[in-house]
């Protein structure tokens, strides 16, 4: 079976296949984690389906937001992959979406994003822009100022040359905001 991957090569793909052997399936909404996605996992982007189709664990869209701090968001590497560089204070506030996800989907995303080698998962403050979470979200709620702590996948293991690339505030795999287009690929 072929799998479409966002990052790196075959070795990462085989680790993606391994997640299915790990632990029992989490069936209920419980032990949920807030994740902010700014790249290929957003709505309309090539890997979004993982966030909501239930095949890799449960995820629910809560709303949209921007990072409270500025970050450089670049499109880099052979496959034009989006990377939020862990250099708070430079770049722009980055737009994305907030999801509440279960432990199974969190584990899948860690492996899918080659965390912690390629990306590292870090908790940052997100300023919510639109919020559509209901009571079912088990208490996920921004504070009175609209702020919410969320995990995101950023990198501090990047090639320093990437700091010279153009910085974006919003990512689109199909080049809508002028970025180089994402290169879809198969691996086995
Ligand atoms: N996937 C993660 C990090 C970059 C990427 O393409 C995301 O969408 O936030």
Q: Output the CA 35–ligand 1 centroid distance in Å.
A: 10
**Residue at 166 is within a domain:** no
Where residue 69 sits, what CATH number does that domain have? Answer: 3.10.490.10
The closest-lying atom of ligand 1 relative to the alpha carbon of residue 152 is: 9
The closest-lying atom of ligand 1 relative to the alpha carbon of residue 112 is: 1
Return the minimum-mean-pLDDT range out of 113-117, 138-142, 146-150, 151-155.
138-142
Q: Output the CA 98–ligand 1 centroid distance in Å.
A: 12
**Residue at 14 is within a domain:** no
- For ligand 1, which residues put their CB under 6 angstroms from it? 6, 37-42, 82, 113, 153
**Residue at 169 is within a domain:** no
C-alpha to C-alpha distances, 19 to 13, 44, 58, 92, 161, nearest whole angstrom: 11, 25, 15, 34, 33
| Closest C-alpha to ligand 1, atom 2 | 39
Give the C-alpha separation, 112 to 99, whole Å: 17
- 136 band by pLDDT with thresholds 50, 70 and 90: low
Catalytically active residues, by annotation: 113
Domain count, the chain: 1
* Tens of pLDDT, residues 40-58: 999 999 999 999 999 999 9
**Residue at 32 is within a domain:** yes
**Residue at 165 is within a domain:** no
**Residue at 175 is within a domain:** no
Q: Output the CA 109–ligand 1 centroid distance in Å.
A: 9
DSSP for 25-59?
Answer: PP-SS-S-EEEEE-STTSTTSTTTHHHHSSBTB-E
**Residue at 127 is within a domain:** yes
| Closest C-alpha to ligand 1, atom 4 | 39
**Residue at 171 is within a domain:** no
Q: How confident is the model at residue 184, as a pLDDT? A: 85
- 113, 121, 184: which to mutate for ligand 1, most atoms within 8 A of CB? 113
Q: How confident is the model at residue 23, as a pLDDT? A: 37
- 140 band by pLDDT with thresholds 50, 70 and 90: confident
Q: In the numeric block, which tokens belong to residue 38? A: 């700014």
Domain that holds residue 100: 23-159
* Prediction pTM value: 0.84
| Closest C-alpha to ligand 1, atom 5 | 39
* Tens of pLDDT, residues 80-97: 999 999 999 999 999 999
Q: In the numeric block, which tokens belong to residue 101? A: 């996800």
Q: Output the CA 40–ligand 1 centroid distance in Å.
A: 5
Residue 34 and residue 150 in contact, taking contact as beta carbons nearer than 8 Å: yes
């Amino acid at each position: 079976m072929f799998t479409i991957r966002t990052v790196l090569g075959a070795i990462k793909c085989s680790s993606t296949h391994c997640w299915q052997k790990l632990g029992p399936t989490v069936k209920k909404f419980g032990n949920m984690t807030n994740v902010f996605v700014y790249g290929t996992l957003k709505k309309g982007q090539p890997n979004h389906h993982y966030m909501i189709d239930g095949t890799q664990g449960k995820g629910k869209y809560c709303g949209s937001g921007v990072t409270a701090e500025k970050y450089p968001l670049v499109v880099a590497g052979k496959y034009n992959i989006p990377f939020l560089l862990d250099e708070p204070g430079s770049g722009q506030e980055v737009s994305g979406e907030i999801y509440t996800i279960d432990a199974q989907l969190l584990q899948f995303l860690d492996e899918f994003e080659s965390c912690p080698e390629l990306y590292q998962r870090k908790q940052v403050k997100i300023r919510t822009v639109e919020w559509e979470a209901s009571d079912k979200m088990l208490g996920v709620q921004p504070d009175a100022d609209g702020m919410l702590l969320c995990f995101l996948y950023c990198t501090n293991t990047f090639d320093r040359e990437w700091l010279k690339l153009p910085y974006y505030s919003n990512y689109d795999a199909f080049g809508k905001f002028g970025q180089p287009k994402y290169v879809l690929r198969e691996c086995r």
